[in-house]
Structure 1
Amino acid sequence: MEILTNPDAWIALLTLTFLEIILGIDNIVFLSIVSGKLREEDQPKARRIGLLLAMVFRIILLFGITWVMGLKESFYDFDFGFFSGGLSGQSLIIFGGGLFLLYKSVSEIHHKLEGEEESTSGKASNGLSAAIIQIALLNIVFSFDSILTAIGLVSSAEPPAGFGPAGAIEIMIMAIILSIIVMLAFAGPVSKFVNEHPTIQILGLSFLILIGVMLLAEGSHLANFRFGNDIEVHSIPKGYLYFAIFFSLFVEFLNLKMKKNRKPVQLKNSTIVDENLKNDDFLD
């Protein structure tokens, strides 16, 4: 109750909630792409499970802050002259997540544009368990990156008056729960919009490629990778990345508004069926 009556705590809560929602955009995009390949009745379940897993992973990591921060310590240092660095648990998790996101994004783009059509009863269309496993794996990386960012923000900011680490953790847990509630409310409409507009699907997958590159750079920075004595790998500021994402979405929304009467191209295994084709003979 003391936290709820402290104005500084409310400011911290709103700031962290907004941050978690922004950092959760890539999670919603990934959920939309993966759940879009499932049967229509399985898609809401996959989105709910995915976002609840994100909440659980984030809260678990918060309670293990000491363990999370301990992963920053290097366990293997190397120096080949032209290339040096030190591997840590944090760098490996973030770097591995970036590689997985790049692989998954490029594979999905290939599948949607040049892959073979699969029947609605096919394994890829109904693989709810496989989709949840993919969501869970990437949620670990997203949660890890989100918690590291939130911890960095809390560490660099002035803590709410009268609150120590325990109070900060309570605020961060409340922010995570609030952000997941907001994302649960908007995940359905966002997924529907993404699946109804193929250009948004490809744009979303392109965003995931950008985020994958950002994770690779961040993992390399955490591992202190250096080329020679002068070139050090730096992380990419998230603000630049999200500005590019929102600007691209704004441009695409303008394009959709100007060309809303045109028939969109159909991607492979799209769950959306053109209303004008429903009564065609070959669909009978």
Structure 2
Amino acid sequence: MLDILTNADAWVALLTLTFLEIILGIDNIVFISIAASKLPAHQQKTATNWGLILAMVQRIILLLGVSYLVALKEPFYTIDNSWLSIGISWQSLILFFGGIFLLYKSTSEIHDKVDIPQKEENELKNKKITSLKKALVQILIIDFIFSIDSILTAIGMTNGIGEKPQDALVLMIIAVVISILIMMIFANGIRKFINKHPSMQLLALSFLILIGFMLITEAAHLSHAVIFDQEIGAIPKGYLYFAIAFSLLVEFLNMRLKKKMELVETTED
């Protein structure tokens, strides 16, 4: 089952996906912290850790369910006319609507973060929590909402990797477990880093636009869609990995430049 880890492409996908899972999980960490802060001090750490553990279990269960639907490749309905030919399967439907959701989610999140900051955080802060059980229930509900784009991102990054159907699922589960463990250990540090460099989160949301578009084209390709005698091809994942790596390199260079300029300004003052 772990033979997939001998594949270099699988390692690239795993590292990239783990990074995106952590960045996309920042909002989840913030909301969990807010929910836990409503509890007595001695229960806050317990609520945070158990909240993340339950979030990991919930995501793995959702991954198993969605991966089962994606595995249903046989078309159950076919359209064939003069300008469109396509075989619709559960796999293509999940990928298509998942891509549409990621496009909507990423653009709306970017809009909210740029124009309407902390609206949802303020709403959650006003909700009182009286027990650990209620806090964990609220955390699970919050995580379920955040899990959707996380799972669709995982499917988009790993679909088609490996020779066996379960190879992609193994990569997704490993990435989820690693990202949750890292968030448990470095939750406060990660949150402070993103607060100091909010452009990293905007960059991750921008990646979701690329992944959403790739899911849509992948759905059309797997459905053997032909529009006006033109067959829709799949986008090689190597292009996506290169775009993400190049964008991150530019962002880290910008961060170093900004830090250097701040140091120069401090010295001059």
Looking at structure 1, the residues matched to 240 and 257 of structure 2 have their Cα atoms a distance apart, in angstroms, of: 26
| Alignment TM-score, normalising by the size of structure 2 | 0.69
Secondary structure of the structure 2 residue equivalent to 1:74: coil
Give 5+ residue unaligned stretches, structure 2: 37-47, 128-137, 263-269
Residue in 1 that maps onto 2:160: 149
Shift of 1:48: 4.4
Shift of 1:140: 4.5
Q: Does 1:20 align with 2:14?
A: yes
The amino acid across from 2:223 in the alignment is A
Looking at structure 2, the residues matched to 193 and 218 of structure 1 have their Cα atoms a distance apart, in angstroms, of: 34
Does 234-243 or 25-34 show the bigger shift? 25-34
The amino acid across from 1:216 in the alignment is I
Shift of 1:247: 0.9
Q: Is the Cα–Cα contact under 8 Å of residues 103 and 212 in structure 2 kept in the other structure?
A: yes
Give 5+ residue unaligned stretches, structure 1: 1-8, 156-167, 264-284
Looking at structure 2, the residues matched to 125 and 53 of structure 1 have their Cα atoms a distance apart, in angstroms, of: 26
Shift of 1:93: 0.4
Q: Does 1:30 align with 2:31?
A: no
Looking at structure 2, the residues matched to 134 and 248 of structure 1 have their Cα atoms a distance apart, in angstroms, of: 27
Looking at structure 2, the residues matched to 124 and 104 of structure 1 have their Cα atoms a distance apart, in angstroms, of: 23
Aligned length: 235
Shift of 1:237: 1.2
Looking at structure 2, the residues matched to 44 and 125 of structure 1 have their Cα atoms a distance apart, in angstroms, of: 22
Residue in 2 that maps onto 1:216: 216
User: 134, 144, 149: which is aligned to 1:138?
Assistant: 149
Identical residues among aligned pairs (%): 31
Change beyond 3 A, Cα 1:97–1:190? farther
| Alignment TM-score, normalising by the size of structure 1 | 0.66
State the Cα deviation string for residues 136-165 of structure 1 (Å, max 9, x = none).
333553455566434xx124xxxxxxxxxx
The amino acid across from 2:60 in the alignment is M
Q: Which has the higher helix share?
A: 2
Looking at structure 2, the residues matched to 68 and 234 of structure 1 have their Cα atoms a distance apart, in angstroms, of: 19
Does 50-59 or 204-213 show the bigger shift? 50-59
Looking at structure 2, the residues matched to 77 and 20 of structure 1 have their Cα atoms a distance apart, in angstroms, of: 35
Shift of 1:218: 0.9
Change beyond 3 A, Cα 1:133–1:14? same
Shift of 1:215: 0.9
Looking at structure 2, the residues matched to 139 and 201 of structure 1 have their Cα atoms a distance apart, in angstroms, of: 14
Q: 1:84-95 alignment to 2 at 5 Å? A: 84-95=85-96
The amino acid across from 2:206 in the alignment is S
Q: Is the Cα–Cα contact under 8 Å of residues 58 and 144 in structure 2 kept in the other structure?
A: no
Residue in 2 that maps onto 1:4: none
Does 198-207 or 15-24 show the bigger shift? 15-24
Q: 1:92-107 alignment to 2 at 5 Å? A: 92-107=93-108
Change beyond 3 A, Cα 1:88–1:17? same
Residue in 1 that maps onto 2:245: 246
Q: 1:70-89 alignment to 2 at 5 Å? A: 71-89=72-90
Shift of 1:259: 0.7
Q: Is the Cα–Cα contact under 8 Å of residues 157 and 211 in structure 2 kept in the other structure?
A: no
Q: Is the Cα–Cα contact under 8 Å of residues 31 and 47 in structure 1 kept in the other structure?
A: no
Q: Is the Cα–Cα contact under 8 Å of residues 85 and 225 in structure 2 kept in the other structure?
A: yes
